[in-house]
Amino acid sequence: MQRMMLKSKIHRATVIDANVDYEGSVTLDEELMERAGILPYEQVHIYNITNGARFQTYAIKGDRGRGEVCINGAAAHLAKKGHIVIIATYANMEDVEAANHQPILVYVDEKNRIKTTTIGMAVKAGVL
């Protein structure tokens, strides 16, 4: 049997822009993507802490070090500049793998700068 497990999350990121006219996706700072193990065009789930909206889209790479978290396309109706969001990815795993899996958790400050990264409960220093 397979289980859908949390692969990674960026916790309490601040939306810095919302562009309804863009064709779709969420633009993320390249460093945030790398640290969370998110690939360009990978599906992401976004949970808006500010208004409770939940939606799925895909990630595209933004400029490194700028703290970009930009909601694009139709999803821009669900998250606005200044909203606080959680960005999560999931992976299917067999029971044996799932039993030992530890997700990557990236914690950011109000400017989307990385404060800490953990794998499960272990804090990792530097780039994973």
Q: What is the C-alpha to C-alpha distance for residues 38 and 88, in angstroms, rounded to an integer? A: 9
The string of DSSP letters for 75-111 reads: GGGT--TT-EEEEEEEEEEEHHHHHH---EEEEE-TT
pLDDT: which is higher, 122 or 47: 47
Give SS3 for 19: strand
Contact 106, 36 (CB under 8 A): yes
Instruction: Tell me how far CA of residue 116 lies from CA of 29, 50, 124, in angstroms.
Output: 16, 22, 7
Contact 52, 92 (CB under 8 A): no
Beta bridge partners of 28: 61, 69
Mean pLDDT over all residues of the chain? 93
Using CB atoms within 10 Å of the CB of residue 55, give its burial: 0 to 12 exposed, 13 to 18 middle, 19+ buried: middle
Return the percentage of the chain with pLDDT > 70, whole number.
94
- Domains with residue ranges and CATH for the chain: 2-124 (2.40.40.20)
- Residues with a catalytic annotation lie at 25, 58
Per-residue pLDDT tens for 75-108? 999 999 999 999 999 999 999 999 999 999 999 9
pTM, two decimal places: 0.92
